[in-house]
């Protein structure tokens, strides 16, 4: 059995990292792959770099329409029996696809997950792979509940090796979303699969600390997308099981975004608070560095965050992307 795997790579202004990322795909021990790179209107020289490898990859060059549209356009030309989404600034270990193909073993109603570790300063060898409670085989809905009950959850679509049959059932990406789009897509994907099969040894090196990352975008439009994705993802979850536990994990998901957004955009933060209240409240605590945690224990997280932001602004506390 040697099924084809289509690896879909949306690219936007990734010229600093795309070659390293592509080489991690070229170096895969599993050979029956096609790489589809979608240049999403980059304003740097990403398209020139992609063009250097036109004999190894399929290239789609589109105007800037967002990662979701780029991913969907990649799906339209994909010919693989399995789909792998991959970020243009991340790295995949050499036997990643081979291990996931072996783990899924021809099953068409399951998806395979992987290990992941975060790295900074362009040194992927420093990545820390910290085992999670979901690093095991689990029924898909159990995976959702367990993942969202963790202190820090990861729902990146690059976790998954996906049979095309599951993609066809769940549909493509929601093109109305930008920030937090993986959450809604992954929830929908999981609900259309029977089981998540954890693939030990298949690793994604997740590049962090980039100011240009969408995850670092702080515009109102980006945050509105994050909340809409949370709305949709939680609607999917609660339609499957509306219980005290599922309402709490949804409330905690909103609480995470409240922590990030506050005190910006008061109308949006008021809306988030209302959603949390309607779900029965959150038990999530905001955590930061040692000083923040001590301060918040005395004055509460809101005042502690306002103080922290002020100290960042005046340069008293240097911003550290590692925190």
Sequence-distant (6+) residues with CB within 8 A of 51 are 59
Which pLDDT band, with edges at 50, 70 and 90, does 119 fall under? Answer: very high
Look at domain 5-210 and name its CATH class.
alpha beta
For residue 134, pLDDT beyond 50: yes
Which pLDDT band, with edges at 50, 70 and 90, does 321 fall under? Answer: very low
pLDDT value, residue 213: 53
- Among 157, 190, 199, 161, residue whose Cα is nearest residue 72: 157
Cα separation, 6 vs 3, whole angstroms: 10
Cα separation, 192 vs 83, whole angstroms: 15
DSSP 157: G
Mean of pLDDT values over 143-155: 93
pLDDT in tens, 156-209: 999 999 999 999 999 999 999 999 999 999 999 999 999 999 999 999 999 998
- What mean pLDDT, rounded, does the chain reach? 94
Q: Which residue has the tokens 């932001």?
A: 309
pLDDT value, residue 217: 59
pLDDT value, residue 312: 77
For residue 140, pLDDT beyond 80: yes
Q: What is the largest CA-CA distance in the chain?
A: 61
pLDDT value, residue 11: 99
Cα separation, 274 vs 91, whole angstroms: 39
For residue 143, pLDDT beyond 60: yes
pLDDT in tens, 282-291: 999 888 877 7
Cα separation, 6 vs 84, whole angstroms: 6
Of 214 and 254, the structure prediction assigns the larger pLDDT to 254
Which pLDDT band, with edges at 50, 70 and 90, does 153 fall under? Answer: confident
For residue 214, pLDDT beyond 70: no
pLDDT in tens, 101-115: 999 999 999 999 999
Whether the CA torsion 251, 257, 261, 262 is positive or negative: it is positive
Residue extents of the structural domains in the chain:
5-210, 215-313
Beta bridge partners of 7: 35, 84
- Among 12, 74, 15, residue whose Cα is nearest residue 213: 12
State the virtual CA torsion across 120, 124, 130, 135 in degrees, nearest 10: 130
pTM reported for the whole predicted model: 0.93
Beta bridge partners of 92: 204
State the virtual CA torsion across 29, 33, 34, 35 in degrees, nearest 10: -40
For residue 294, pLDDT beyond 70: yes
Percent of the chain with pLDDT over 70: 96
Tokens of 307: 């103080």
């Amino acid at each position: 059995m040697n099924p084809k795997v289509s690896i879909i790579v949306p690219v936007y202004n990734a010229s600093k990292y795309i070659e390293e990322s592509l080489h991690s795909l070229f170096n895969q021990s599993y050979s029956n792959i096609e790489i589809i790179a979608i240049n999403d209107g980059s304003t740097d020289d990403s398209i020139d770099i992609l063009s250097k490898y036109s004999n190894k990859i399929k290239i789609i060059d589109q105007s800037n329409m967002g990662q979701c549209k780029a991913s969907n356009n990649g799906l339209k030309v994909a010919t693989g029996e399995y789909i792998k989404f991959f970020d243009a600034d991340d790295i995949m270990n050499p036997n990643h696809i081979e291990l996931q193909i072996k783990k899924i073993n021809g099953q068409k109603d399951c998806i395979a997950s992987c290990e992941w570790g975060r790295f900074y300063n362009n040194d992927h060898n420093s990545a820390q792979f910290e085992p999670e409670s979901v690093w095991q085989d689990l029924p898909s809905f159990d995976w959702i509940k367990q993942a969202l009950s963790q202190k820090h959850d990861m729902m990146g679509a690059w976790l998954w090796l996906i049979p095309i049959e599951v993609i066809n059932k769940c549909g493509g990406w929601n093109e109305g979303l930008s920030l937090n789009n993986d959450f809604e897509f992954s929830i929908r994907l999981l609900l259309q699969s029977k089981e998540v099969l954890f693939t030990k040894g298949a690793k994604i090196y997740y590049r962090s600390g980039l100011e240009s990352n969408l995850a670092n975008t702080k515009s109102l439009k980006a945050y509105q997308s994050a909340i809409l994705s949370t709305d949709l993802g939680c609607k999917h979850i609660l339609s499957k099981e509306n219980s005290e536990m599922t309402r709490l994990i949804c409330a905690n998901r909103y609480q995470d975004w409240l922590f990030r957004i506050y005190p910006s955009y008061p109308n949006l933060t008021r809306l988030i608070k209302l959603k949390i209240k309607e779900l029965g409240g959150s038990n999530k605590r905001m955590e930061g560095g040692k000083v923040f945690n001590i301060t918040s224990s005395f004055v509460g997280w809101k005042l502690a965050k306002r103080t922290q932001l002020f100290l960042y602004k005046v340069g008293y506390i240097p911003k550290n992307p590692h925190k």
